[in-house]
Amino acid sequence: MQTDEVSWQDIDKVRYYSFGYAAFLLIRIPTHPFWVVKTRLQMQLEPAAPHAVPASLHSMRSLKMPVRASHRLNADLVYDGTFDAFKKMSRHEGIRSLFKGFGVGCVGILAMQLDNTVLEVSRHELMRLQTDSLVLSGFDFLCNSAAGALAALVSHTVSVPVEVLAQKQMMSRRKDGSYSATPPLMRVVKETWRKEGWRGFYRGFGASLLVHAPYNSVWWAAYIHFKSQLAQRMPAQGKGWRMAQEATAGGLAGVLAVYLTNPFDVVKTRMQLSEGQHRSSDFLSILRKLVRTEGLTSLLKGVEARALVSVQSSIMFVTAYELVKRMSKK
């Protein structure tokens, strides 16, 4: 670890949690619309596609939803990629549609703080064990990776119910298939409880963990590695330069983690929002059906929106996170 890094023992916890919540709330505002768009894109169905590997993994075109008699959807409800979704949602549903689920999503900040707490404590303990062990010596990357995965596991007890409820608000439809105004949170809670009980709030828990544990693991290990490499190759010349290094390391870590975990994120979203005859709790069966009916490109649905969210939020997160730690130093 770098000598200027603030350790968990040096942090005033009251200031840390107070400053942290305020900072992460500010991050939530510009990134939430991308979460809404990502969810819409991942839930958008498309006709069967060839099984060939796409020429460009960055292609997010041809996201077409088959017209069903029950919904009679028109072209305004079919999104041809990330920016088309932004344009159509703003035009037909209003700017407020991009903030569906924002209120309950803010509760997720508590999960973020829980994640950070577990990460810092586990990193401290693993590094202490590493110092005392010849076997673990030199395995900083693995220690940071393990701490990130453990943090995701614990924080998911809070984040999954929040995500399920927020996504239900984002995807609320009228009988004609068009998107409706955001339903009240308590109505969504009651309907979820009535239909599925407590299990409904943890739908897709395993799939979500399969996304976020690797994501957290890759992100934290990559971030700390990139930050260390940047500090060695381009020593910081003041606070501004150090913050630029942290932001760059965070952005790079975000891109890497997103592309490695996006297929799992698509399946997780389908699991959390599928209903009726399309409902399934089997991760592998949904994955196989997705590839069979919609092609391999379906595994990259929403990847552009998710990458934009990840880079944007990673840069803002590490800037705020490191700043909050320094401000909270005893």
Residue 69, pLDDT score: 37
Reported as half-sphere exposure (CB side, CA atoms, 13 A), residue 83 has a value of 0
**CB-based burial, 70-101: b 16+ in 10 Å, e otherwise:** ebebeeebbbbbbebbbebbeeebeeebbbbb
- How far is the C-alpha of 81 from the C-alpha of 121, rounded, in Å? 40
Q: Give me 65's structure tokens.
A: 């939803």
Amino acid present at 210: L
Nearest Cα neighbor of 118 from 39, 48, 212 is 212
Name the residue type at position 1.
Answer: M
Closest CA to 26 of 324, 227, 246: 324
Q: Which stretches of the chain are DSSP H helices?
A: 13-43, 82-93, 102-132, 140-170, 185-196, 205-233, 239-273, 283-294, 303-327
Enter the tokens of residue 115.
Answer: 């994640």
Cα(62)–Cα(110) distance, rounded to whole angstroms?
Answer: 37
What is the C-alpha to C-alpha distance for residues 253 and 145, in angstroms, rounded to an integer? 12
- Those residues whose C-beta lies under 8 Å from the C-beta of residue 294, and which sit 6 or more positions away, are 45, 46, 47, 48, 49
Q: Residue 214: which of 259, 161, 279, 157 has the closest Cα?
A: 259
DSSP code of residue 6: P
Q: Is 109 exposed, middle or buried, given 0-12, 13-18 or 19+ CB atoms closer than 10 A?
A: buried
| pLDDT digits (tens), the chain, 330 positions | 444 678 888 999 999 999 999 998 988 888 899 888 888 887 876 554 444 333 333 333 333 434 343 344 455 578 888 889 899 889 888 888 899 889 888 888 888 899 999 999 998 888 777 766 655 555 677 888 899 999 999 998 888 898 889 888 888 776 555 676 777 888 989 988 998 898 889 887 887 788 889 899 999 999 998 998 898 888 767 778 889 999 999 999 999 999 888 888 888 888 777 665 455 557 788 888 888 888 888 888 888 888 888 898 899 889 999 999 999 998
What per-residue confidence (pLDDT) applies to 54? 38
Under 8 Å CB-to-CB from 197, ≥6 apart: which residues? none
Instruction: Using only the alpha carbons of the chain, give its radius of gyration.
Output: 21
**What's residue 52's pLDDT?**
37
Which 3 state secondary structure label does DSSP give 309?
helix
Cβ neighbours of residue 63 under 8 Å, at least 6 residues apart? 41, 44, 46, 78, 79, 80, 81, 301
What is the value of pTM for the model shown? Answer: 0.68
pLDDT of residue 277: 44
| Phi and psi at residue 179, to the nearest 5° | -75, 135
Euclidean distance between CA atoms 122 and 115, whole angstroms:
11
Q: How far apart are CA 236 and CA 2, in angstroms?
A: 12
CA distance 182 to 193: 18
Which domains are assigned to the chain? 8-327 (1.50.40.10)
**Other Cβ atoms closer than 10 A to 198:** 9
